[in-house]
Structure formats: C-alpha cells, structure tokens
Amino acid sequence: MTSSIGLEGVCVRFGRTVALEPMDATFAPGSMTAVIGENGAGKSTLLRAIMGLVRLTSGRVRLDGVRRRDIAYLPQAQEIDRSFPIDVTDFVSFGAWPRIGLTRSLSATEQQKLLAAIERVGLFAERQKAIAQLSGGQFQRALFARLILQDAPILLLDEPFAAVDAKTTADLTGLLRGWHADGRTIVAVLHDIGLVEREFERTMLLKHGLVAHGPSRVVLASAIAERQARARLVAA
C-alpha cells in the first residue's frame, strides 16, 4: 500500500474563530502518527478536514493512491447515536459499505469477513446484542471491528482509547500494530503520552495550527519543554 496524505496550506475558520492556521504537512505512506495537543487545539478538526467533513477556508488536502471514500474514519464514540435500534452484527457491517455500496446485501464471503472481524475483537458472543447494551469498551471494540471489515489503506482515529479499560486498550493497540505492519497509514488523535511514546513512531503537535511534526521523541521533548516553561511563567 502506498497511500499518503498531504496538507497544503490547510486552514479552517469557523466565523472569526481560527480552528487551524494555515499548515503544511505530509503523512507518508505506511507512517503511524499520533496527533496531540490541548483541548480545542484543532486535532479533531484536522481529521474532519482530511475527510472533507468541514469546509476549508484555504488550502487543500492531497490524497495520493486513495479515494476519500476508502479512508477508514473512526469518530469520537460520543458522536455516534447508540440509541439507534441496531445490533452489533448490523453495526459492524457498515464497514463493508464503501466496498459494496449501500443498496447491496453482503455476499457469503463478506458475511464470513464480518463474523471474523467481530470474533477478532472479542465480541462474537455479543454479536446479536443491541449496541445500546454494550459497555463503553465493548462499543469501541465494535468500532474497531468495523475498521477491520472496511480494510482501508488509511485510518483516521479520533481518540480511539478514550474512556476504555486497560485490557481493551491493549487489545486494540495490538490491532494498530498489525495494521502498521501491513503498511497502512495511521493518524490517531491521542491524549495518553505514555501510549504515544510506546507505540507511535511519529507525532504531530497542534495548537490551532502546526507546532511540531516529526519523530515522537523529538516532538514530545519539545512539548514537555514548552509545558515546563509555561509552568515557570505562571509560578513567577
């Protein structure tokens, strides 16, 4: 897989509010990048801009080797209406839609892929449960099963481990490692700096625009130094 994302002068404003100042960056094919920053720094806006879900004020998003509809996007869990009366199997089946279309039913092969994805995330016993009955961790597993079924070359994940237990985080992080080993391009918004240090080779630091982007050890050291300098100013 050789899919990459290029940002060329990408800027997003909501009225007078600047969500993202003009920024240039590239997510290279097969790279695995954590996006970090304080709340409101523009992290989720960046992913939505790549997906075409927010209007760019200026600039453009360049997609090489992939169509936007083939990118797997995992929004924050709270953005999904879990009151909708649908069971785990049907929910996960949405991952096949970019490949087969909205009006076609799943073939026998696709059905096998669907059940295999559910089993892989440990939800086979819950496959007929309504998604409203799932715990937070189980629902996140269902979202990852949908990503498995979509089988996309690029994955954009918005806080994929928020409010889930350590076991679920460990299991789902294992899936990320596997996707990275397959050569997929992964961009994930994260708050757990320890997880970033352990698992992500590259990090992008945002603060209403690009502050730093490069090897994680370099970017995280810069972020820590900036935080310490701010703390000294406040203390003074």
Angle (nearest 5°) at CA 171 between 166 and 176: 120
Q: Which pLDDT score, from 0 to 100, does residue 106 have?
A: 85
CA distances from 97 to 11, 158, 187 (A): 30, 20, 22
Residue 236 — pLDDT band, cuts 50, 70, 90? Answer: low
Q: Which pLDDT tens digit goes with each residue over 110-153?
A: 999 999 999 999 999 999 999 999 999 999 999 999 999 999 99
Full-model pTM: 0.91
Alpha helices in 129-181 (DSSP H): 136-150, 166-181
Give yes or no for a contact between 163 and 139, defined as CB atoms under 8 angstroms apart: no
